[in-house]
A and B are shown apart, each in its own frame.
Chain A
């Protein structure tokens, strides 16, 4: 079984401030981890993914995430928030076993204040 917990359904930061979105996962086998972003009234776009190579993963739009096995975490960060980063962000886990489907967290809505 696998699951994802995203701490904080809403996060608000000032433009230029650090963005930190938290994700913890549970998986009985080595996981594949993903962050997706959803802009209003749009589908989901892949930001970045962890697939057992480097533990620090860089994605699009200046985002990165670090896989920490000991903490079962995969937090998303960006050094300096931009107004265009306002969106909903989803963490998801998959594995090479079982139904291999994506299991999503409940999402974090990021607000960026001017």
Chain B
């Protein structure tokens, strides 16, 4: 089925380790974004991309890197994990130029940093 696929679903990291959260979509959506969800804070934007080769920072970008080499993929990298990055991460996409369209969300990655 078409949609946004996130891997892995669960991950435990030790402080200082690095990892990449994967996000792929097959809907030809130019706009892709990463959010983190923390209790009582809703979802906060980490980074977003309006197309291949173009990325920009969101509300909480520190500690995270992104790149966009293809339309389909938008990986999120944690270079040196910290306990404050324990969260649920969601990738979302939509068509560029259509902010009135609903975003399609992945099922999330639950990350624990110990």
Measured CB to CB, the residues of A under 8 A from B are 4, 6, 9, 32, 34, 36, 42-46, 49, 51-52, 90, 94-96, 99-107
Known: A42-B107, A43-B90, A101-B48. A34 touches B42 (CB 8 A): no
Contacts between chains A and B (CB distance < 8 A), count: 58
Known: A43-B108, A90-B42. A102 touches B103 (CB 8 A): yes
Cα–Cα distance between A101 and B100 once the two chains are bound (Å): 11
B-chain residues with CB within 8 Å of residue A105 when the two chains form the complex: 42
Measured CB to CB, the residues of B under 8 A from A are 31, 33, 35, 40-45, 48, 56, 58, 90, 92, 99-100, 102-103, 105-108
| B58 close to A104 (CB less than 8 A) | no
Cα–Cα distance between A34 and B48 once the two chains are bound (Å): 19
| B99 close to A106 (CB less than 8 A) | no
Known: A43-B107, A99-B56, A101-B58. A49 touches B43 (CB 8 A): no
Known: A43-B90, A43-B108, A44-B105. A95 touches B42 (CB 8 A): no
Cα–Cα distance between A95 and B92 once the two chains are bound (Å): 16
Cα–Cα distance between A104 and B60 once the two chains are bound (Å): 14
| A95 close to B99 (CB less than 8 A) | yes
| A9 close to B100 (CB less than 8 A) | no
Cα–Cα distance between A42 and B58 once the two chains are bound (Å): 23
| A49 close to B42 (CB less than 8 A) | no
Known: A44-B90, A51-B100. A99 touches B40 (CB 8 A): no
Nearest CB in chain A to that of B56: its residue:
A99
Contacting A101 at CB < 8 Å: which of B45, B90, B106, B107?
Answer: B45
